[in-house]
């Protein structure tokens, strides 16, 4: 269960300390590798729900750089409907970038943009889309934040270590057993991070327990003529 986030600098500091690194390493590579590690972990719990307004120009709006998945979208408090790319390719208008099927606040995502059929009068005050999306949490510098979880921290560190060792192994500078150990460490912690992120908290555990109780069939139903089948379930404590 994710309860907070840490700066990616924590991972970088840990790497310099644990690996006893004396020379400078390109930090952009470290940041990219940490982002790759988070992507490979792939848990929904590591993303946060974000509300944003994005500028709409000529029917297009650029997605935020930390965008992962769209949850909701509206223009002037009117929800937009998703139009599939297969339909869009079938009904394109001659001499126009707006498909004929898109006539009632439809949209689709292409690359880093949301494409809509909305035509805005430049005199209108609102020229933006309201979106709710799952995104990678970032700090004030735009760097990704790491979930405040020991397994996520270790997974990112182990992946960066593996990538550093892999480069040296390719050059013939380190033995096979070292790169194999680095890969094993990474694989262990990536699975541990997934498990930690998906572990329910106390409230969710209580809800799951009650759900299982409700799913237990009434083994005495036949003997009491099923008279209690419409009554709410009671949690018995033994």
The model's pTM: 0.61
Higher pLDDT, 73 or 200: 73
What is the per-residue pLDDT for 135?
87
Closest-CA residue to 128 (of 69, 71, 70, 60): 60
Tokens of residue 101, six digits: 């099927």
Q: Residue 206 pLDDT more than 70?
A: no
CB-CB contact of 231 with 76 (8 Å): no
Which of these ranges, 69-73, 86-90, 91-95, has the smallest mean pLDDT?
A: 91-95
CB-CB contact of 220 with 227 (8 Å): no
Long-range contacts of 29-32 (CB under 8 A, 24+ apart): 29/163, 30/160, 31/143, 31/144
Q: Residue 43 pLDDT more than 80?
A: no
Long-range contacts of 181-189 (CB under 8 A, 24+ apart): 182/158, 185/158, 185/161, 186/155, 186/158, 186/159, 186/161, 186/162, 188/158, 189/151, 189/154, 189/155, 189/158
């Amino acid at each position: 269960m994710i309860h907070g986030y840490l700066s990616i600098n924590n991972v970088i500091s840990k790497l310099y300390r644990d690996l006893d690194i004396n020379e400078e390493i390109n930090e952009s590579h470290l940041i990219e590798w940490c982002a790759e590690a988070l992507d490979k972990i792939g848990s929904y719990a590591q993303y946060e729900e974000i509300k944003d307004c994005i500028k709409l120009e000529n029917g297009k709006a650029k997605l935020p750089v930390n965008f992962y998945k769209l949850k909701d979208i509206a223009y002037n408090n009117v929800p937009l409907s998703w139009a599939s790319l297969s339909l869009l390719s079938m009904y394109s208008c001659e001499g126009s970038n707006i498909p004929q099927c898109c006539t009632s606040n439809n949209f689709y995502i292409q690359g880093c943009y949301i494409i809509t059929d909305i035509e805005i009068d430049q005199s209108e005050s609102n020229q933006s889309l309201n979106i709710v999306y799952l995104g990678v949490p970032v700090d004030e510098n735009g760097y990704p934040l790491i979930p405040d979880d020991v397994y996520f921290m270790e997974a990112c560190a182990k992946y960066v270590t593996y990538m550093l060792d892999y480069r040296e192994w390719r050059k013939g500078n380190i033995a096979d057993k070292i790169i194999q150990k680095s890969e094993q460490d990474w694989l262990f912690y990536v699975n541990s991070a997934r498990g930690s992120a998906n572990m329910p908290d106390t409230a969710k555990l209580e809800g799951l327990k009650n759900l299982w109780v409700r799913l237990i069939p009434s083994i005495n139903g036949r003997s009491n003529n099923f008279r209690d089948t419409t009554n709410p379930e009671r949690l018995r404590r033994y």
